[in-house]
Amino acid sequence: MNLDEENRVNNLRKILLGDSIRDTFPIFAKYGQKRLCFLDSAASTQKPKCVIDRLTDFYSNEYSNILRGAYELSANATIRYEEARSRISNFIGSKSSDSIVFTRGTTESINLVSYALEDYFNEGDVILLTIAEHHSNIVPWQFLAKRKNLKLVYAKINNNYNLDIEDFYNKVKEFKPRLIAATMCSNVLGSVFPVKDIISGAKSVNALVLLDGAQYVAHNKVNVNKLDVDFLCFSGHKMYGPTGIGVLYAKRELLEMMKPFQGGGEMISEVTLDDTTFADIPYKFEAGTPAIAEVIALGEAVNFINQVGIENIYEHEKSVFEYAISRLSSISYVDMYSSKSSNDSGSVISFNIDGVHPHDFASIADNFGVQIRSGFHCAMPLLNYLKVNATNRISLGMYSDKQDIDMLIDAILESRKIFKVN
């Protein structure tokens, strides 16, 4: 790092603790004095200028398809694409960038595994999930279970809105699953699941483990190598990168064993009229022209997170989370569906307001400039389990601060007045 770069990085780290990190996200400037209170980063984060610039710059000055051109533009674009792969590989502590497969997002990563791993399962095998999974970590397994006649079993959550580890271990022992797929952080409850326990439970019965890192990787450090996890799935758009790009990390030997997900250009070694042999990993899983600019811009997003420092982001969001919990707890008619301890929570809080339906609250909040999510958050089985039809959900990013929470609380107080609830 040269001196200029070092100063820029130090500056970014410092400003994270103040208001000015928002200045690196153009959307906040656009709103000017009328503050944009964006509390829906779990759905998708806002984008920093460097990511937007990287996309524009690539299309304006460097664009070409990759892998297939003998000419300079294509060779350079290929280098940038592969640089992004190794940056992402380093970011999650992977030993080799061959373990990084680009997909469209967490959903496609999980679908890829559920299809490409099909031959590993025998009729009657069990897949253990948790009741708190996003639909994208349920539906692909249901498809697979129907195709191969497998059984899906779900571990419960406890009164603290985290994984019921006793129930989990009992189910591991009883059903001896061949695969366990669990979220690292619930997109509804905000609970950070005990990932090390999940992995050691899986190892005790020789099961493979897939972690859904969609709500985790932009908030906390991950090291797939230290965790010794088999699969990790995450989405670029939830970590300050573009939409349409995601990542599947898998151990090399698993990728080598798995069958291809889609057929087409670039995933082949040789094609005859009757048969095909496949390219080496990870290309075997990247059929067709990939999302080149998005991959490169995701690499930029990872660079940005590294510069701000994932530890700084974690500490900052933790302090905003604690503030939100203390303010929401002080309102007697707010019920929370989240652990009140920042030690086992991420950056998401679900709550309901007695007398105000979540959909009504979300639109009232919007009138106050507060943007939150309401509904079932793509987690119907969890909401059924909690016996609620919908919740309000706030979720934080590195740009969220206490002022956002104050605006939320004002909107909650006003909503009760509008609905004339005492």
Question: Which positions are annotated as active-site residues?
Answer: 378
What residues between 311 and 340 interact with ligand PLP by CB under 6 A?
none
Site for ligand PLP (CB under 6 A): which residue of 24, 99, 106, 415? Answer: 106
Window 189-248: residues binding ligand PLP (CB under 6 A): 212, 214-215, 235
Question: Smallest distance, Å, CB 129 to ligand PLP?
Answer: 12
Shortest Å distance, C-beta 183 to ligand PLP: 5
Nearer CB in complex with ligand PLP: 195/364: 195
Q: Considering only residues 28 through 47, tell me which ones interact with ligand PLP, judged by CB under 6 A.
A: 42
Stretches 91-99, 104-112, 304-312, 382-390: which one binds ligand PLP (CB under 6 A)? 104-112
Cβ closest to ligand PLP, residue 278 vs residue 376: 376
Shortest spacing between CB 321 and ligand PLP, in angstroms: 17
Establish if 134 lies at the interface with ligand PLP (CB under 6 A).
yes
Site for ligand PLP contains 183 (CB under 6 A): yes
Residue 415 interacting with ligand PLP (CB under 6 A): no
**Smallest distance, ligand PLP to C-beta of residue 29, A:** 26
Of the pair 12, 250, the CB lying nearest ligand PLP is at 250
Residue 89 found at the interface with ligand PLP (CB under 6 A): no
Label each residue of the chain as H, E or C.
Answer: CCHHHHHHHHHHHHHHCCCHHHHHCHHHHHHCCCCCEECECCCCCCCCHHHHHHHHHHHHHHCCCCCCCCCHHHHHHHHHHHHHHHHHHHHCCCCCHHHEEEECCHHHHHHHHHHHCHHHCCCCCEEEEECCCCHHHCHHHHHHHHHHCCEEEEECECCCCCECHHHHHHHHHHHCCCEEEEECECCCCCEECCHHHHHHHHHHCCCEEEEECCCCCCCCCCCHHHHCCCEEEEEHHHCCCCCCCEEEEECHHHHHHCCCCCCCCCCEEEECCCCEEECCCCHHHCCCCCCHHHHHHHHHHHHHHHHHCHHHHHHHHHHHHHHHHHHHHCCCCEEECCCCCHHHECCEEEEEECCECHHHHHHHHHHCCEECEEECCCCHHHHHHHCCCCEEEEECCCCCCHHHHHHHHHHHHHHHHHCCCC
- CB 84 → ligand PLP: shortest distance, Å? 18
Per CB under 6 A, the list member of 45, 136, 339, 345 interacting with ligand PLP is: 136
- Select from 105, 290, 299, 346 the one that contacts ligand PLP (CB under 6 A): 105
CB of residue 15 to ligand PLP, shortest distance in Å = 28
Residue selected from 46, 107, 347, 391 as contacting ligand PLP according to rule CB under 6 A: 107
Q: Name the segment binding ligand PLP (CB under 6 A); options: 130-138, 143-151, 268-276, 311-319.
A: 130-138
Task: Kindly tell me which of 66 and 390 has the beta carbon lying closer to ligand PLP.
Answer: 390
Contacts of 353 (CB under 8 A, 6+ apart): 333, 334, 361, 392, 412, 415, 416
Residue 374 as a binder of ligand PLP (CB under 6 A): the answer is: no
Give min distance, CB of 106 to ligand PLP, in A.
4
For 161-197, give one letter per residue: b (16+ CB within 10 A) or e.
Answer: bbbbeebbbebbeebebbbbbbbbbbbbbbbbbbbee
What is the biggest distance separating any 2 CA atoms in the chain, rounded to whole angstroms?
A: 75
- In angstroms, what is the minimal distance from the CB of 237 to ligand PLP? 6
99 is a site residue for ligand PLP (CB under 6 A): no
Q: Return d(Cα 194, Cα 155) in angstroms, integer.
A: 13
Residues between 142 and 171 with contacts to ligand PLP, criterion CB under 6 A: none
Size of the site for ligand PLP (CB under 6 A): 13
Pick between residue 135 and residue 357 the one whose CB is nearest to ligand PLP. 135
Which residue ranges make up the site for ligand PLP (CB under 6 A)?
42, 105-107, 134, 136-137, 183, 187, 212, 214-215, 235
